[in-house]
A and B are shown apart, each in its own frame.
Chain A
Amino acid sequence: MGSTRRQFLWAMGATAASVGVRWTSDVVWAAQGSGDPGWSPGTERFVNSSCLVCPARCGIRGRVVDDRLVRLTGNPFHPMSRGGLCPRGVAGVQLLYHPDRISAPCRRVGARGAQAWEEITWDDALGQLGARLQSLRQRGQPEALALLAGYCAGSMHDLWQQFLQSYGSPNYIADDYDDGTAAVMELMHGIGRSPGYDLERAGFVLSFGAPLFEAWWSPLQAFAAFAGPDGDNGAPTRFVQVDTRFSRTAARAHDWAGIRPGTFGVLALGIAYVLIRDELYDAEFVARHVSGFEDVADAGGERREGYRSLVMRNYRTEEVSAVTGVPVGRITSLARAFAEAAHPVAVCGPDVTHAPNGLLAACAVHSLNVLMGSVSRPGGVLFGNEAPLAPLAAPVVDPRGRAGLDRGPLAPSQTPFGRGDPAMRFAGAVAAGEAGAVDTLLLYYANPLASALRRQVWEEALQRIPFIVSFSPFHDETTAHADLILPDLLAYERWQDAPTPASYPYPVWGVVRPLVDPHPGARHTGDAVLAVARQLGGSVARSLPYESFETLLKARAAGLFATRRGMTLGDAFELRHQQQMEERGWWLPEHREFEAFWDEAVDRGGWTDPFIDETEPAGLARTSSGRIELLPARLLEALATVGEGRTAYLDVAAAAAGGSDDFPLRLIPYRVSTLSSGTLPLQRWLAETPGLFPDVHWDPWIEVAPTTANTLGFANDTMVWVVSAHGRYRARLKVFPGTAPQNVCAPYGLRHPDGEPANPLHLLDGSSDPLTALPNWFTTFVRLERA
C-alpha cells in the first residue's frame, strides 16, 4: 500500500520544519525581549488622560508598562468617548515614539531651510529667546512679536493670550479649524460661538455636509448618538446626510442625498418652503421667540419683507430642485421627516460656509432649527459648554505694553463677520509690508507651509521675519525655516487641559497628565513661556505668577471646585444620577477639600457638568430684542455695502458656474479622519491604510467617477497630475462610484513617502465669501494629466 498524499505531506512538513528551525534560529520566539538577560515582563498600570491629537479632546486611558506607553484606549469615564476611541487616538503611541521627534533645543547654523542645526541647552535657548524679547520691548516695539497658534483651546490658549497681552503684542494669529458657524450664531442669536448640538437626544439629525463620522469637531460625539446608549435596542437617532460626495458619513447615515457644491443654503430654504407651506413648523415658538419671520412695516411706514415671504416667493421646490440637483419628491420627504421627528436638528458643516455664499447658506441651514424650535431644548442647538474655570491672575499691562497693544493687530479682519483666515491675512501683510514689521514669530502647533492655501506667500513672509521660533516637537516644513527650536513635550508627557469642543452640549473639562516620564530633551511649552515671563520680569512676570503649568492648571481647577455644580468624571450611572439630581435642584459635594477633588479629577480624567438648563432665556438669544433674528439688521446692512448685490438668503445664482474646456472637473477637497492637516507627522499605522481603499498605502489619492475615468482613458491606480490654474500635485487615481462625474474628490493631509507635498488646498483659486473672507473650497476646477 503506497503512502497517501496526506502522509506524504506530513513527511514533507517534518523535513521542512527541521529546515525551518535552523533558518530562523536567531529569532526570539517567546514574548519579545525575553532572550535579553535581565528581561522581565514589566509592571503595568492604567492611567486616564485626554487626547490632544484633534479638537475633539476625547478621554484616553494609557497602558503603561514600566515606563513605556504601550497602548491607548478610550477612558470609560469620559462621557464622550466611553471607552471607545478613533484610530488617530489609538495611533498616538506612534507620535510619542516617532523617529522625527526633535531631541533637544536647536539653533540654526546653516541657511534657512537647510536643516542644519546645533543642539544647545535649555538655559541657552530660553536665554536667547528671553534676551530677544527683552530688547524688542525695550526698543518700544512689543507688537513686533507675533504668535501663530494652531488649535489650542483651554489653558494653553489663555496662557498665550495673557503672555502676549502683558508683553504688549496684539498679534495672536489663530491658524486652526474654523467651521464658520460662530459668525452665524453671533448674527442670529447674539452669541458669538459655534453651537453645541445635542445629537444624543435628537431624534433626527439633518447634516448639511458636516463630516460627522470623519473629521467633524468630534466624531466620537456623533458615534455615540449614532450607536445609541450601550445595549439600547430602541430607535437610535436617525441621521440623514446631504453631501457633495459620497463620504463615509453619507455611507453610514440612514439616508443620504447628493447635492451640487455650493447649493446647501438653497436646499435648506427649499425645505423651509415645505415646512411653511404645509404649516409643519413650530408656529408658537416662532411667534414667541423669533423676529423677522413676518413682514413688518418699518418706522417710515415702508413694508419690509419677512423670512416667510422671502422663502415662499423664491424657493419653490421645483426651482430648488433645478439648482441643487435634489429631486422635488426628495425635498418634500426630507422636510416632512424633519418636521415629524421628535427632536430634529440641522447641523451645518464647514462645506456650507466655505463657499461664495457661505454665511447666507449657513444662516439658511440654521433657520431650519429656528423654525422647528430646536434651540435651547433637549436634542437641539445649545450654547454654553464652557467649564467654569478660575480665571488666570489679572493681567498687568505697563505703559510700554499698552502702547504696543494700542497699535492694534498687524492684519485685522477686513470683513463684516467672522475672522476669516487670519493666518493667511497675516502672511499677506508681512509679505507685502516692510521688513521688520514683525521681528519675532513664534510657531505653536502651526505648519503653514504645509497647510496654508498660499504656500508662496508664506515663504515670502517667513523670509521677511528676522527671527522665527518653533515649539514643534517634530521636524516639519515650517520648522525647517526656524532660527530656534524649543521642542514641546507630547500630550502623553505633559500637564494640560482638554475642554470638549463647541459642538458638545455640556462642559467636559478633560485633564491631560503625563503618562510616562518626559523626554529629557523636550520641555512643556507652557513651562517655557512661564520661564521666559520670569526672565522678562516686570508686568509680564506679575501677570504670570505661576511656578509651572501644572500649578497654573491646579489654580484654575479651583474654580470648578468652588462652583457647586458638576462632578469628577464617572461611569454612565454616576453621570445620569448627577444629571437627575441637578435637574431637581440638588447638588452634593463629593469632596470637602480641594486637594481630594483635584486628585480624583486627575485620576478619573477630568470634570463635567451634565446638566443642561434649557429654561435659561440667555441660552436662546442675547440679541438686543431678546429674540432670535431671522433677518438680522447687521446682515442686511453688510449686504448693502459689501454684499456684491446679494440680498438676504438669495444665493441661487452662485452655483451656476461650471468648468471650462481647460479645467473641466470641479475639485472637492476633504479631510480624512486618519490624517492631520500638517502639524503632526504621518503615523505608520495610519499611513498604511489611510482611507476607504484597502489597496491605497501611503500614497495621496484622488477619487474619480468610473464614467469620468473611462472618458479620460485613465485606469484605476494611474498616477496623475491634478492641475488647476494655480498649481498642481501628483496623486493616484482611484475609480470610485460615489464621486459625481463632474467632480474630483481629493483628501488632504497626505504627503508622498519621499516628502513631496500633495495638498489639494494649494490648487484653490483663492476666492472667498465677501462677508466672512472664508476661502471657497469648491469653486476651483482642475484637469487630470498622466504623471
Chain B
Amino acid sequence: MTRWGMVIDLARCTGCAACEVACKSENNIPTVSPDQAEMGRATSWMRVMAEPKGAFPDTTLEFYPRPCMHCDNPPCIKVCPVRATYIDPEGIVGQIYPRCIGCRYCANACPYTVKYFNWYGPEWPESERQYRNPDVSVRAKGVIEKCTFCHHRLQKAREDARAQGRQLREEDYQPACAEICPTDAIVFGDLDNPTHRVAELKEDPRVMRLMEDLGTQPKVYYLRQRT
C-alpha cells in the first residue's frame, strides 16, 4: 500500500528557504500586506523554523523546515465538523475548500500549526495573476488551507504514467519543496516502497519525528544533526 511521506535531513538543510518560496510559487499562496503580515496572517505552507541556543560565541542554531506532517493519526480530522479535512487512502491529509466552514477547529487542534486561515479573500494584483499555477485552485475568504504534498502533481504524474503504460516512478511525483532543495535535504516518496529513498532513510539511526509523544504518527521524518 502506498504511504506518501517525507524525510528531511537536518544535517543537510542550510535554512536557505528555497523550499518556502518554491511552495508559494507552486501553490498560489497569496502574499498579504505588511500590516497583515505583522498580525501573523502571512501564509506559508512550508516554513523554515530556526531555533537559536546558547550565547555568543557558543551559539547553535537548528533549522527545521516544517511542512504539514501528514499524520497517520491526524488531530485536525477528528475535530472537523464537516469532514472538510480528510486523510486519503495513501496518507495525504487534504482540505476540501468548498466544504470548509472556517470554524478553525482544525487549526487549533493541529500541534504543528500548519493550518492557515484565510482572513480575507486572496488579493491578486493584476501583475500577480500572471504567474499563478493553473493546476492549483486559489482559496476563498473564510476557509482553511494547508500543505497538500503538492497532490495535484500526483494526479498529473499518474495520468502520464498511465498514458505511457508504465508504473509510477519515484521521480514522477515530487512536491515543489523536495524538487527545489539545493542540498537535497528534503526527500519524498512512498514510505512503504523499499525501492524509494525515504523507505531507507526513515530507518536511519538519526531519525526522529516532531512531537511523537502526542501519538499523531507524522509521516514527515527528520534526520538529526550529525554529532
Interface residues in chain A, defined as those with a beta carbon under 8 Å from any beta carbon in chain B = 9-10, 12-14, 16-17, 19-21, 23-24, 27-33, 41-42, 65, 68-74, 81, 83-87, 89-91, 93-94, 96-99, 213, 219-220, 223-224, 226-227, 230-231, 246, 248, 251-252, 256-258, 325, 673-674, 684-686, 688-689, 692-695, 697-699, 705-707, 736-741, 753
> Does residue B54 face the partner (Cβ distance < 8 Å to A)?
yes
Contact B81 A12 (CB under 8 A): yes
Say which residue of A12, A86, A256, A740 sits within 8 Å of B18 (CB atoms): A86
Smallest beta-carbon distance B145→chain A, Å: 13
Given A84-B184, A685-B24, do A246 and B134 touch, yes or no (CB 8 Å)?
no
Contact check, A32 vs B134: say whether CB atoms are below 8 A apart. Answer: yes
B101 touches A16 (CB 8 A): yes
Contact A258 B18 (CB under 8 A): no
B121 at the interface (CB under 8 A from A): yes
Give Cα A226–Cα B98 distance, bound, in whole angstroms.
44
Q: Is there contact, CB below 8 Å, between B56 and A252?
A: no
CB-CB under 8 A for A90 and B180, given A24-B140, A97-B131, A694-B47: yes
Tell me whether B157 is interfacial, beta carbon within 8 Å: no
Minimum CB–CB distance from A77 to chain B (whole Å) comes to 15
**Contact count A vs B, C-beta below 8 Å:** 218
Q: Give B42's nearest chain A residue, CB to CB.
A: A688
Chain B residue contacts of A89, Cβ below 8 A: 18
A19 near B184 with CB under 8 A, answer no
* Interface residue? B17 (CB, 8 A): yes
Most buried by A among B31, B183, B185: B183
Closest beta carbon of chain A to B120's beta carbon, Å: 12
- Chain B contacts for A325, CB-based, 8 A: 57
Of the candidates A31, A230, A252, A737, the one whose C-beta lies within 8 Å of that of B136 is: A31
Whether A213 and B22, one on each chain, are in contact in the complex, defined by CB atoms closer than 8 angstroms, is no
* A–B pairs, 7, beta carbons within 8 Å: A70-B134, A83-B179, A252-B15, A256-B57, A689-B44, A695-B40, A697-B42
The answer on a CB contact under 8 Å between B182 and A220 is yes
Known: A30-B137, A32-B28. 16 other contacts (CB 8 A): A14-B82, A24-B142, A28-B138, A29-B140, A71-B26, A93-B25, A94-B131, A99-B125, A219-B182, A227-B184, A258-B56, A258-B57, A694-B47, A694-B49, A736-B52, A738-B52
Chain B residues 201 to 215 lying within 8 A of chain A, measured CB to CB, are: none
Contact string against A for B residues 52-75, beta-carbon threshold 8 Å, 1 for contact and 0 otherwise: 111111011101000000000000
How many Å lie between the Cα of A230 and that of B176 in the bound state? 18
* Chain B residues positioned under 8 Å from A19 (CB to CB): 101
- From A16, A86, A256, A705, give the contact of B182 (CB < 8 A): A86
- Check: B21 CB closer than 8 A to any chain A CB: yes
Contact residues of B between 63 and 107, Cβ < 8 Å to A: 63, 80-82, 97-103
Which residues from chain B contact A694 at a C-beta distance below 8 Å? 47, 49-50
Tell me the nearest residue of chain B to A219, going by C-beta: B16
Q: Is B179 in contact with A87, judged by CB distance below 8 angstroms?
A: no
| B62 to A: closest C-beta gap in Å | 8
Tell me how far the C-beta of A14 lies from the nearest C-beta in chain B, rounded to whole angstroms: 7
- The answer to whether A90 and B53 touch across the interface, beta carbons within 8 angstroms, is no
A16: contacting residue among B15, B25, B82, CB under 8 A: B82
Q: Known A17-B82, A85-B180, A685-B31; judge A69-B131 contact (CB<8 A).
A: yes
**CB-CB nearest 4 A-B residue pairs:** A258-B57, A13-B81, A84-B182, A697-B37
